[in-house]
A and B are shown apart, each in its own frame.
Chain A
Amino acid sequence: MRLIRSSFLAALLPAFLAAPVQAAEEPVTIGFFSHLSGNFAEYGASFKNAVELYLDQVKQQGGIEGRPVKLLVEDDRNSPQEAATVARKIAGTPGVVLAIGSWSTTSSMAASPIFSEAKIPQISPTSSHPDFTKQSDYVFRQNNTDDILAQYNADTIQQKLKANKVVIPYSQDDWGVYTGKATAEAIKKAGGEVLLLESVQPGSRDFRPFISKVKALQPEGVFLALPYQEASIFIQQLRQAGIDIPVGGGIPLTSPKFIELAGKAAEGVVLHTIFFAQDPSKKAFTDAYKAKYGKLPDQFAALAYDATGVGVEAIRRVIKSGKPLTGEAVRDELANGPAYEGVTGVTKYDHGNVKKDPIFITVKNGQFALF
C-alpha cells in the first residue's frame, strides 16, 4: 500500500502541484562522488542508492523548502587521482553547496583540498581515518573514527567473545593498517595479548601459510581487520584447518555478502556495527530501500542516507533563515546545527567528527542477529 501510494504521489506531484512552484525556484545542487565501477563497486552502488532514495523522498515533499534538488553523480573508480578530477568537476559546477563522498579515506582526502578551496562542505559517509577531518573546517564524516572503532573492535573480541590471546590479520590498505595497529593497542591496554599482527595484501586469496602460523601459536581468538572478500575466504580456510576458536570482525563484515561468500564458516562470528537492518526502529528506511532496490540496505547505504539527511537539513536551515544559500552557510549550519537523529544513530558534529554507539551482532543460521 505504502509503495503504491508513494509512487502514485511521485508521479502526480511534479506534474500537477510542484511543477509550477519548482520552476520558479532555483534548484539546490548536491554533488555525489564515489566508486561506481571497478573493485568494491558494490559499496559505491550502496552509497548512490541511498543518496538517491533520500532525495526521492525530498522530491516527494516538494523539494527543500519548495526548492528542487539536483544531484550530480560522478564515478571516482576508488582512485585518488580520479577523485581529485571529479572533485574539480563538481566544485566547478555552479550552484553546488554540498558534496557527499567518497568511500575510502584516500579518495575522500584527495578531494578535500579542492572542496575546501571552493568553500563547499564535504561529508564522507565512511572515511574513518582520524586525519580526514583534521584537514579543514569544510570536512565532515558520518561514521566513527578508527580510534573509536578500534575500541569497539577490542570490546568485540575481549568482552563479547572472551578471548584474550588474539591474532589479527589486517588488510594492507588505508583502513586496515590503522585499524590493525589501533585494535592491537586497545587489546593490550585492556590486558589482552596480541600473538600475531600481520598484514595481508589486498586481493589475497591464499591464507593457508598464515593459518598454519595461527595454528602453531594456539590463540584464543581471531580478529579480522579485513574486507569481506578476503575475510570470507580467510575464515573458510581457518575452519578448514580445523581451528575452532571464536572470530570477531568490524564494520566491513556486516555486508550480507560476507555470509553469502563464507557460508557455514561465518556461523558464530561476532561483529559490531552502527546500523542493523533487522532493527524494527529502522523499518521505514529498510522497507523503502528494499522496495526500490530489491535488497536490504547495508551499513554503507545507511551512512550515505544519513550523510544526505544531515546535509539536506543543514541546507533547509539556511534557506529558512533567509540567508543566501552558499557552501559557506551550509558548512556553518553543519558545524553548529542541532543533533540529527538518523538511521545510524545521532549526528552532532565536533570538529567534523561524530561518536555513535555500537550494536553487537552475530551470525546465526546464515542470518545476522543481535548478539
Chain B
Amino acid sequence: MIELFFSQVLNGLAIGQVYALIALGFSLVFGVSNLINFAQGALFMLGAFFAFSGVTWLGLPLPVAAVGSIALVTVLGIVLEGVALRPLENGPYIAPVLSTLAISIIVDQLAEIIWSPEGQAFPLPFEEVTFFIGGAYITSTDILIFVFGGLAALALTWFLQYSWLGRGVRATAQDRDAAAQLGVRTDNVRRLAFALAGTLGALSGILVALYFKSVFPQMGMPFALKGFAAALLGGLTSIPGAVVGGLSLGIVETLASAYVGEGYRDLVAFSLLLVFLLFRPQGLLGDSRLSALGGSGAASGSMPSTSLLASASSQRAAHRIIEMPAWGFLAAGLVLAALPLITQSSYVLQAVVYGMIFAMLSASVSLISGSLGVLSVGHAAFYGVGAYTVAVMGHTYGLPTEVALPAAVILTALVAVVASLPLYKLSGHTAALGTLAIGQIGFLVFMTWLSVTRGPMGFLNIPAPQFDLLGGLRLSAISHKFWLVALVAAVGLFLVQRLLDSEIGRAWRGIREDRLAAHAAGLPVRRYMLMAFAVSGALAGAAGGLFAYVQSVISPDSFNVHASLLLLTMAVLGGLGNLTGAAAAGFLLTIVPELFRPFAEWRMIVYGVFLLMVLRMRPHGMLGAR
C-alpha cells in the first residue's frame, strides 16, 4: 500500500512539474502587469505546434525545431503585448484581460484550421527508457522535463534576483508608477515579461508534447486552467510559489485519482483549491500583507482601487452611457411577444428565444462583474444549476412549472451565495480566478453526479412547461414557450434594473469602486456582496430553467468554461454594469452568429476580432459601462 502511495506521489510530481512550468509564465505576466493572460494557453499550444511542424513538415531535428519554436513564440509574446495591451493602457483594467481572451479565441480556432482539429503524433527523437523503483517508475521524458523545467526556474530566479533588468521587473511588479519615477522603463519591462511568458509557454508546450507524445489544437485551455490554478495556489506573483503550487496541484490530483477515482480528479483538485483560498487567500507563498480587502495594493501589484473599471490613472474616463429605464424591458418584452403572431417559422422563434435567454444570462454576469466588480468567469455553473433544477423536477419528479421554475431561481440563488463565500477575501483578478474554479466545479459536478444529473447523458425529453394552477395549461409549441420566456425575461430584467437604480445598486457600485472606503463608511460589505450574488444567481437560474424547457434536452456541455467565457464577453461588449447593454449584447450576439452559420469555422474568429475591435474603440463596451 505504502509503495503504491509513493508511486502515486511520484506520478503527481511528474505531472506537477508540467503545471509548474505553465504557472511560471503566467505568474510572471501577472506580477508585472497585473493581468490574467488568457492567451498563455494559446502560446503554450503554439509552442508545441511550431515544434511539431518544424519536425514533420520541414524535417528539422527536434532540438533545432524546439529552439526555433521558442524563439518564434517569444516574439509572439511581444506581439501579443503590442496588440492586446499597449493600445488599452489607459482603458479600464478589464480591457486587456478580455483582449487576451479574444486573442486566444482567434488563435485556437486558427490552429484548428491550419493543423486540423485532430490530434497528431509528436515524434520522439530518442527511444524512451523507463526506470523502475519498486512499483514506481519514471521515464527518460520525465527526467528531460525535470531538467529543462528546473533549469528554466533557476534561470528565471537568478535573472529576477540578481540582474539589473530583473530588479527592474520586480520593481515594476511592486509599484509600476514608483518604478517609472525612478527611471525604470516600465514599458520595456512589460514587453520583456510577455516575451518571457512566450518563452516559458513554448518550452512547456514542447515538453508537454513530449510527455504525451502528441499535440492537439485544443490542448491550450485545459492546461491553461491548471496553470492558473497552480499559480493561484502558489500565490500568483511568487516565482517559487508557482513551482510549489504546480507540484502541489499535481500531487493533490494524482492522490484524488488514486483514492477517490480518476473521474473525480479535477473536481477534487478545484474544490480543494477553493477551500484553501477560504483560509489562505494569498496562496501558499503569497504576501499576506497585501490584504485583499482592498486599499492600495489589492491582491498584488499596484492596483489603485479594487474596481475593474478604473483605469491606470485611477480616474474613470468620461464616456457616454446609453441605458433604458426599467420599464423599457417590459416594453421590449411586449414588442417581442408579437413576433409569434408575425412569423410561424420555428427556426426564427427558437433563435429569438435563445437570444432572450442569453440576454438574461449576460445581464446576470454584468451585475456581478460590472456593478459589484467581481469578474465572473464561471457563470455557466449558475446557469447550469437552474437548468438542472428544472430538468430534475420536471423530468424525474414530474412537478409542474409553477414549482420547478421558482425552485430553479431560489436554488441557484442559494448556490451562488455559497459559491461566493470563498470569493469574499479575494479581489481583482484573483477573484476572477476563483470564479473560474467555481465554473469548473459546476461543470464537473454536472458531469459526475450521475444519480441526479445523469452525468454526460444529461436529460432528454424534459416535459414542456405545464401549469397545474392554470388548469393544466401546457406550453408545448415553440411559440407558446416563446411567450413564457419573453414574460420571465422582461419581468426579471425589469426587477433587476429597478434594484440597480435603487440605493442597493449604488451600494454595490460603491463597493466596486473602493471596498475599503465602503467598509469604512459603514456599509455591511459582505452582506451586500452575498446579496448581489443571490440576485445574479436568481436571474441566471431563471434563464437556465427556461433553457431546459425550451430545449427539452440538456447536457453538461452547455455549461462548460467556454459558455462562461462567452457570457463574460457578452457582458463586457454591452458595457459592464449596464443592464441594457448586457441584455442587448446577449440578445444580438446569440442571434447574429446564426446568420454566419455557413461560415461556422470562421465564426469564432470573426467573434474574436469583433471583440478586439470593440475593446480598442469602446473599451467601456458598446453602450458604456456604468
Kindly provide the distance from the CB of B362 to the nearest chain A CB, expressed in whole angstroms. 16
User: Which chain B residue has the least Cβ–Cβ distance from A110?
Assistant: B553
**Taking chain A's interface residues, is the majority helix, strand, or loop, or is none over half, making it mixed?**
helix
Q: Does B430 contact A (CB under 8 A)?
A: no
Cα A177 to Cα B558 in complex, Å, equals 19
Contacts of A65 in B (CB 8 A): none
Contacts of B345 in A (CB 8 A): 92
Please report which residues of chain B, range 506-562, place their CB below 8 angstroms from some CB of chain A when the two chains form the complex: 551-555, 557-558
Interface centre among B354, B456, B461 (most CB of A within 10 A): B456
Proximity bits, A72-100, B CB within 8 Å = 1, else 0? 00110111110011101101100000000
Which of these, A40, A80, A88, A89, contacts B458 with CB under 8 Å? A80
B263 & A80 in contact (Cβ 8 Å cutoff): no
A263 & B213 in contact (Cβ 8 Å cutoff): yes
Q: Does A260 contact B (CB under 8 A)?
A: yes
Cα A306 to Cα B350 in complex, Å, equals 32
Q: Does A213 contact B (CB under 8 A)?
A: yes
B457 & A201 in contact (Cβ 8 Å cutoff): no
Kindly provide the distance from the CB of B342 to the nearest chain A CB, expressed in whole angstroms. 15
Interface centre among A41, A174, A208 (most CB of B within 10 A): A208
Q: Does B291 contact A (CB under 8 A)?
A: no
Kindly provide the distance from the CB of B257 to the nearest chain A CB, expressed in whole angstroms. 4
User: Which chain A residue has the least Cβ–Cβ distance from B348?
Assistant: A92
Contacts of A257 in B (CB 8 A): 118-119
Cα A261 to Cα B124 in complex, Å, equals 12
Q: Given A75-B597, A201-B263, A210-B257, verify A177-B456 contact (CB < 8 Å).
A: yes
Q: Does A166 contact B (CB under 8 A)?
A: no
Total number of B residues with any Cβ neighbor in A under 8 Å: 65
B119 & A229 in contact (Cβ 8 Å cutoff): yes
Q: Does B265 contact A (CB under 8 A)?
A: yes
Cα A16 to Cα B68 in complex, Å, equals 56
B551 & A75 in contact (Cβ 8 Å cutoff): no
Which of these, A42, A92, A209, contacts B262 with CB under 8 Å? A209
Contacts of A241 in B (CB 8 A): 130, 137
A85 & B457 in contact (Cβ 8 Å cutoff): no
A41 & B554 in contact (Cβ 8 Å cutoff): no
A212 & B119 in contact (Cβ 8 Å cutoff): no
Which of these, B130, B219, B347, B558, contacts A80 with CB under 8 Å? B558
A88 & B350 in contact (Cβ 8 Å cutoff): yes
Cα A40 to Cα B116 in complex, Å, equals 10
Interface centre among B119, B139, B266 (most CB of A within 10 A): B119
Contacts of B130 in A (CB 8 A): 240-242
Which of these, A80, A135, A233, A240, contacts B128 with CB under 8 Å? A240
Contacts of B600 in A (CB 8 A): 36-37, 75, 77
Cα A38 to Cα B458 in complex, Å, equals 20
**Taking chain B's interface residues, is the majority helix, strand, or loop, or is none over half, making it mixed?**
helix
Q: Does A232 contact B (CB under 8 A)?
A: yes
Please report which residues of chain A, range 155-205, place their CB below 8 angstroms from some CB of chain B when the two chains form the complex: 169, 172-174, 176-178, 198-205
A212 & B8 in contact (Cβ 8 Å cutoff): yes
B461 & A216 in contact (Cβ 8 Å cutoff): no
Kindly provide the distance from the CB of A147 to the nearest chain B CB, expressed in whole angstroms. 15
Which of these, B136, B139, B346, B447, contacts A240 with CB under 8 Å? B139
Q: Does B63 contact A (CB under 8 A)?
A: no
A172 & B455 in contact (Cβ 8 Å cutoff): yes
Cα A135 to Cα B601 in complex, Å, equals 32
Contacts of B553 in A (CB 8 A): 80, 84, 106, 109-110
A201 & B551 in contact (Cβ 8 Å cutoff): no
Cα A294 to Cα B448 in complex, Å, equals 40
Contacts of B475 in A (CB 8 A): none
Cα A77 to Cα B218 in complex, Å, equals 14
User: Which chain A residue has the least Cβ–Cβ distance from B139?
Assistant: A240
Kindly provide the distance from the CB of A48 to the nearest chain B CB, expressed in whole angstroms. 12
Q: Given A169-B262, A212-B11, verify A177-B450 contact (CB < 8 Å).
A: yes
Total number of A residues with any Cβ neighbor in B under 8 Å: 65
Q: Given A212-B4, A233-B214, verify A85-B351 contact (CB < 8 Å).
A: yes
B213 & A233 in contact (Cβ 8 Å cutoff): yes
Please report which residues of chain B, range 340-394, place their CB below 8 angstroms from some CB of chain A when the two chains form the complex: 345-347, 350-351, 354
Q: Does A236 contact B (CB under 8 A)?
A: yes
Which of these, A42, A77, A85, A216, contacts B347 with CB under 8 Å? A85
Contacts of B597 in A (CB 8 A): 74-75, 86, 89
A199 & B262 in contact (Cβ 8 Å cutoff): yes
Q: Does A39 contact B (CB under 8 A)?
A: yes
A173 & B456 in contact (Cβ 8 Å cutoff): yes
Contacts of B457 in A (CB 8 A): 105-106, 129, 174, 177-178
Q: Given A84-B350, A106-B553, A172-B455, verify A208-B14 contact (CB < 8 Å).
A: yes
Kindly provide the distance from the CB of B486 to the nearest chain A CB, expressed in whole angstroms. 18
Kindly provide the distance from the CB of B455 to the nearest chain A CB, expressed in whole angstroms. 6
User: Which chain A residue has the least Cβ–Cβ distance from B256?
Assistant: A209
Contacts of B118 in A (CB 8 A): 41-42, 257
B258 & A89 in contact (Cβ 8 Å cutoff): no
Contacts of A232 in B (CB 8 A): 119, 214
Q: Does B132 contact A (CB under 8 A)?
A: yes
Q: Does B460 contact A (CB under 8 A)?
A: yes
B121 & A201 in contact (Cβ 8 Å cutoff): no
Contacts of A36 in B (CB 8 A): 600-601
Q: Does B125 contact A (CB under 8 A)?
A: no
Q: Given A74-B597, A92-B347, verify A135-B461 contact (CB < 8 Å).
A: yes
Please report which residues of chain B, range 122-162, place their CB below 8 angstroms from some CB of chain A when the two chains form the complex: 128, 130, 132, 135-137, 139
Q: Given A212-B135, A257-B119, verify A106-B346 contact (CB < 8 Å).
A: no
Q: Does B117 contact A (CB under 8 A)?
A: yes
Contacts of A206 in B (CB 8 A): 11, 15, 212
B262 & A200 in contact (Cβ 8 Å cutoff): yes
Kindly provide the distance from the CB of B255 to the nearest chain A CB, expressed in whole angstroms. 8
Cα A89 to Cα B444 in complex, Å, equals 32
Q: Does B186 contact A (CB under 8 A)?
A: no
Cα A39 to Cα B222 in complex, Å, equals 13
Q: Does B7 contact A (CB under 8 A)?
A: yes
Cα A106 to Cα B552 in complex, Å, equals 12
Proximity bits, B235-254, A CB within 8 Å = 1, else 0? 00000000000000000001
Please report which residues of chain A, range 118-156, place their CB below 8 angstroms from some CB of chain B when the two chains form the complex: 129, 131, 135
Cα A78 to Cα B456 in complex, Å, equals 13
Contacts of B177 in A (CB 8 A): none
Q: Does A113 contact B (CB under 8 A)?
A: yes
A-B contact pairs, 8 of them (CB 8 A): A109-B460, A114-B346, A135-B461, A174-B458, A209-B265, A229-B214, A242-B132, A261-B121
5 extra A-B contacts, CB within 8 A, seeds A42-B117, A75-B597: A84-B553, A88-B350, A177-B457, A241-B130, A261-B120
Interface residues of A (CB under 8 A from B): 36-42, 74-75, 77-81, 84-86, 88-89, 91-92, 105-106, 109-110, 113-114, 129, 131, 135, 169, 172-174, 176-178, 198-210, 212-213, 215-216, 229, 232-233, 236, 240-242, 257, 260-261, 263
Interface residues of B (CB under 8 A from A): 4, 7-8, 11-12, 14-15, 112, 116-121, 128, 130, 132, 135-137, 139, 212-214, 216, 218-219, 222, 254-255, 257-258, 261-263, 265-266, 345-347, 350-351, 354, 444, 447-448, 450, 455-458, 460-461, 478, 551-555, 557-558, 594, 597, 600-601
Q: Which 10 A-B residue pairs are closest in the complex by CB-CB distance?
A: A199-B263, A209-B257, A110-B553, A208-B11, A41-B117, A75-B600, A88-B347, A92-B347, A173-B456, A209-B254
